[in-house]
Structure 1
Amino acid sequence: MTERATLKGEQTRELILSTALRLFREQGYGKTTMRAIATEAGVSVGNAYYYYSSKEHLMQAYYDHLQDQHREAVASILATEKAFVPRLTGVLRTWLEVAAPYHEFAGTFFKTAAEPKSPLSPFSDQSRPAREASVEIFRQVVDGSDLKLPADLKAELPELLWLMQMGIVLFWVHDDSPALRRTKSLIDRSVPLVDRLLRLTRLPGVRGVVNDLTALIRTLKT
């Protein structure tokens, strides 16, 4: 009975989340209410609030869901590709594929997430699990690649690559080009530039600049 109840609870949770994401796409995040989500999912409002205390909680669950999908989708790339450029390019382009169903409502949702104190901000404490999971993917990108980097820079690079992805996501939100042509071009052109800059850090004359950069990064994080 306990296992059956647990399974049913997980199915209800997934139903509420999938229903919410569909309504966010169809109606927009701001116009979708918890009552509408409950009605569409065929559950009581109280039951919806039992699993998700707010729309913000639903969006955090979406973050986690999207991150799980991204991690699974890039597993083969991380397991087989060693060259840094195709490795990072593949991870960033795969995110576009995973997030594609939610592109239409991303603009209206971004208005809420862009607020510095919003729990939906990718930099908020509430978003920390999804953020750390994403940084871990970029850590795997770096650790399993052919890059040879100074130890200090290598330790900070995964988070810097996550920040790069956040910039790409912002561009993606506003990209209305066919098949996201401009965002894909941004990825394809920026990653080789990042690769070239990172490889320059091995040069003796650049090491001082690298040390100053990593010190600055650590100062900003404290």
Structure 2
Amino acid sequence: MAEAAGKTAKGEQTRALILETALELFRERGYEETTMRAIAERAGVALGSAYYYFRSKEQLIQAFYGRTHQEHLEEVREVLRTQRTLRDRLLGVMQTKLRTIEPYHRFAGILFRTAADPESPLNPFSEESLPARREVIELFAEVVDGAEDRKLPKDLEAELPELLWTYHMGIVLFWIHDRSPGRVRTWRLMERTVDLIARLIQLSTLPLMGPVRKMVLKLLIELRQPVSGEEGAEGGPEGSARNPGQGG
């Protein structure tokens, strides 16, 4: 058993080494110019070993997505345990998000050149990114579900985690392009829009806003449906990360 545990630990170390080396080379040379062979050589492992842990460069980036999410989860647990209002929980999640991704700012800009391509498997909306997308949407579901002041209509409650994921992606995109010291513009945008979102959610619960809310949510659901001639249209909607029956 001790021997097996040792092998597992060594395997995890090798996997982490390959990932760190890949990120280093991506920063130095760019994503497209970096090869798996170059990563293996820099890491001091056989090319076959590199492919054993990661079948492609795309898998390396997906592992990077997963690592940054785990770092975020570790930081945000205390926020979710102590904050009670939807506004404070969302604010805490976004604050910890910006803090945990800040060390990767330069790399995120390099990665964005590839991830922005709609055909890239690294695109956050791609099928390959669905597991990472689902994990973050579930985090926002926890933000909503644990808020003591939430009194949401069922239709909004079902869609809100994915809407918050989309909002957070917008903040991350702004952060990638932000060159202000300490990313102060991104922080200002995030804090003010969190307040705005909290107010809009409150307003959406008013009876007078019911028809408008339903129109907006219906539009969002329709936009997720594939159109004729679009890839995947024959098989029906992909399904959202939290509401697989409603399109994704």
Tell me if both proteins adopt one fold, taking TM over 0.5 as the criterion. yes
Map of 2:125 onto structure 1: 123
Unaligned runs of 5+ in 2: 225-246
The question of whether the paired residues in 1 share the 8 Å contact of 2:25 and 2:39 is answered with yes
SS at match of 1:122: coil
* Aligned mate of 1:176, from 167, 170, 179: 179
Map of 1:87 onto structure 2: 89
Unaligned runs of 5+ in 1: none
Of structures 1 and 2, the one scoring higher in RCO (CA 8 A, sep 6+) is: 1
Map of 1:66 onto structure 2: 68
TM-score, with normalisation over the residues of structure 1? Answer: 0.95
Q: Cα distance, 1:167 vs. partner?
A: 0.6
Using the alignment, how far apart are the partners of 1:75 and 1:29 within structure 2? 32
Higher helix share: 1
Using the alignment, how far apart are the partners of 2:216 and 2:26 within structure 1? 40
Q: Cα distance, 1:100 vs. partner?
A: 1.2
Q: Cα distance, 1:122 vs. partner?
A: 0.5
* Aligned mate of 1:46, from 48, 51, 56: 48
* Aligned mate of 1:23, from 25, 38, 44: 25
Map of 1:204 onto structure 2: 207
1:117-146 C-alpha deviation (Å, 9 max, x unpaired): 111010111111110000011111111112
Structure 1 vs Structure 2 CA RMSD:
1.4
One-letter amino acid matched to 1:105: F
Using the alignment, how far apart are the partners of 1:22 and 1:100 within structure 2? 16
**Equivalent residues in 2 for 1:137-176, closer than 5 Å:** 137-145=139-147, 146-176=149-179
- The size of the alignment, in residue pairs, is 222
One-letter amino acid matched to 2:172: V
1:164-196 C-alpha deviation (Å, 9 max, x unpaired): 011111111100100000000010111111111
Q: Cα distance, 1:216 vs. partner?
A: 2.1
Shifted more, 125-134 versus 84-93: the winner is 84-93
Using the alignment, how far apart are the partners of 1:203 and 1:94 within structure 2? 31
Q: Cα distance, 1:95 vs. partner?
A: 1.0
Using the alignment, how far apart are the partners of 1:26 and 1:136 within structure 2? 34
One-letter amino acid matched to 1:34: M
* Aligned mate of 1:136, from 119, 135, 138: 138
Q: Cα distance, 1:217 vs. partner?
A: 2.2
Q: Cα distance, 1:98 vs. partner?
A: 1.1
The share of aligned pairs that are identical, in percent, is: 53
One-letter amino acid matched to 2:24: R
TM-score, with normalisation over the residues of structure 2? Answer: 0.85
Using the alignment, how far apart are the partners of 1:2 and 1:83 within structure 2? 46
The question of whether the paired residues in 1 share the 8 Å contact of 2:26 and 2:110 is answered with no
One-letter amino acid matched to 1:167: G
